[in-house]
A and B are shown apart, each in its own frame.
Chain A
């Protein structure tokens, strides 16, 4: 691939103020290249040097292996188009008239003719930006986002090879931002258009850019793929904000989120309240807990305040249990977004609770257990799957801050403890007559206050792991005994 743009040892100063300091980088054709940095890091100055809006002072800027200074304004405009951060809206011009200006560099002579080629380029630019229907409207009647699209269309009418954008999604709502960037991305792929864009939003930058350049106080901090660049420590050092990096839910891109500085007071588990009726057991926390669960409602990672263990009849069937459960929760005025909802055929009055406060770990475990569907998972392949309502529901509340690893390990530790409890109680898989390891639709939720003590891990070697193991084992045994007792009574 050829280098579209190459910047070498570029420095710039306004008066005595050094704004850029020996900046070097190169952009290949067809690349989507992002420039990031806090305010005053020299991003806009850099872009202005690339568009020759500012004169070159020191260093080298090469476009297609030719010095930028060797291009006349018109020649440059045939290769490079610029979308500035803000444009003075000229009063009364229509969308089309504005876009037509983009053809200036392609026209020649004193009073040039408007050619078919010019018209085609303008119509194409209007079409791509979704402005075909609005071309006769005056631009001062458009919204800020639409106007930005008009200026983008003008830039595209230049039919550039390189597009320089200064915060292109300023003044746009989220939908417009995503649509614009989607389109730009598509053109880099289809038309080999090269895009160099300043971003304010780390998020959008890492989603759309092939490579990023991070500027800080006029110097290049680092450059590379979003994945390489979005290091928590780097971002925190440059932007002076706390960030957490996560995986994007659908794309192989890093997701950087900011942590606002808020004092978190640990309230312990004292703020947890439990309300039990014949139809449901509800645990409410005062502040939201971070939860990893396999529940019908609120599965995966979630922040929640309401934990509902709902009793359903043994014959319960539904083609869409999640929707049905949400409906159930809504009817009872729960905020579905903040609720973890599980179901069980077991009577929820038989739930077993264990509080653990020793060894510095503060946690609470709730288990409801029924073993009508007990299964030995190692023999399960021999049977037809039966998916009646599941029956060992475990909820663990921890006062502390857990890492993702700790959450997953907590699930493992709790599962092992549950299996050991079934084994020690001698619960059998009725089909194979071997010791059962669980039931066919067991459910678990690990909830952590994310305040106070930090737990990096929750394996059996850690204090947290040990506490979980003991508490879950104890609660499961108690719940199984409550279950057996009620079965005995009913006979």
Chain B
């Protein structure tokens, strides 16, 4: 994280950053720090890094949970259509400048999350109608159908809106740039609730890995726990999409990488996916804004560029 704050258009040494932090909590430094540096660190770099961490952690955690619950190695917020659904919600909010009275600034994540959850249930309902066993292929195909449909909806809205939706397009590309502290605050409560919901269902996720029947046999309240996990994962996804747009591959790659190293036990898998997912996105964001500096790459490009080959390599190594 220090690295993420330090490097940028203007490099700031670690020592200075630490001094800035110390200054914030009342320990004054010996030599004065330039005001513009303090501004960059506290108002631009730090919120950006924290946000990247939250988004990465949320997507990885959600991916790990979806994969465990659906016993589907290809499941993640994107393949299931949850992200697309959440995107539709977010675009609608930005498009109509909705403001739900009670939620005020939280309107965006709340609507995103709601759309994400609704999409998930639609996908699962539809998949169940097609194939009672809810096989891996059925779920993924259903997810793709819904994703495609929602992407078309978003394109339609952009086409209809004209110039003023540049904001939406920028948002859609997926970025954690220039969001400021309010976005970080926006995701925080959802991230907290979603993580707690999932972490509290660690053992149930392990049980679900052996099938719902087995989970029921050992005493898991299947319907209740499944709902809790799906809602928890959707909360994380919806909130992440709301603040950063569509960043792919994190939810698929990070849990797999962690699983290959420490095994499938969710007791370790969930917390480590959270940490590694966060760190992964911080580094990806770092790469996105430094590689072709001073211009920035969309962060989704970086995650896919790093994620896909790494995933292919690990997958290949495992097979042989």
Contacts and interface: CB of A to CB of B under 8 A. Distances in A.
Given A72-B221, A87-B211, A92-B264, A53 B71 contact: no
Contact of B264 (A51, A91, A104, A105): A91
Given A91-B264, A93-B263, A97-B265, A73 B216 contact: yes
A77 B218 contact: yes
Interface string B247-265: 0000000000001000111
Contacts of B221: 72-74
Interface string B203-238: 100110111011011111110000000000000000
Contacts of B71: 88, 90
Interface residues of A, number: 34
Nearest to B260: A92
B219 A78 contact: yes
A110 to B, nearest CB: 5
Interface in A42-79: 51-53, 72-78
A105 B200 contact: no
A305 B265 CA distance: 61
Contact of B214 (A52, A75, A87, A138): A87
A57 B209 CA distance: 29
A101 B207 contact: yes
Contacts of A87: 210-211, 214
Given A53-B213, A87-B214, A101-B206, A93 B200 contact: no
A284 interface: no
B259 A154 contact: no
A155 B217 CA distance: 9
A140 to B, nearest CB: 10
Interface string A271-292: 0000000000000000000000
A97 B269 CA distance: 13
Contacts of B210: 87-88, 90, 98, 101
Contacts of A74: 219, 221
Interface in A172-195: none
B135 to A, nearest CB: 12
Contacts of A105: 218-219
B211 A53 contact: no
A471 interface: no
A104 B220 contact: yes
Given A87-B211, A101-B210, A110-B200, A92 B259 contact: yes
A88 B219 contact: no
A102 interface: yes
A107 B207 CA distance: 14
Contacts of B206: 93, 97, 101
Given A82-B217, A102-B218, A110-B200, 13 more contacts: A51-B217, A53-B217, A72-B221, A73-B219, A74-B219, A88-B71, A93-B265, A94-B263, A97-B206, A101-B210, A101-B214, A104-B219, A154-B218
18 contacts: A52-B216, A53-B213, A53-B216, A77-B217, A78-B219, A84-B213, A84-B214, A87-B211, A88-B211, A90-B209, A90-B264, A92-B259, A92-B263, A93-B209, A97-B265, A104-B203, A111-B202, A158-B218
Interface of B: 71, 199-200, 202-203, 206-207, 209-211, 213-214, 216-222, 259, 263-265
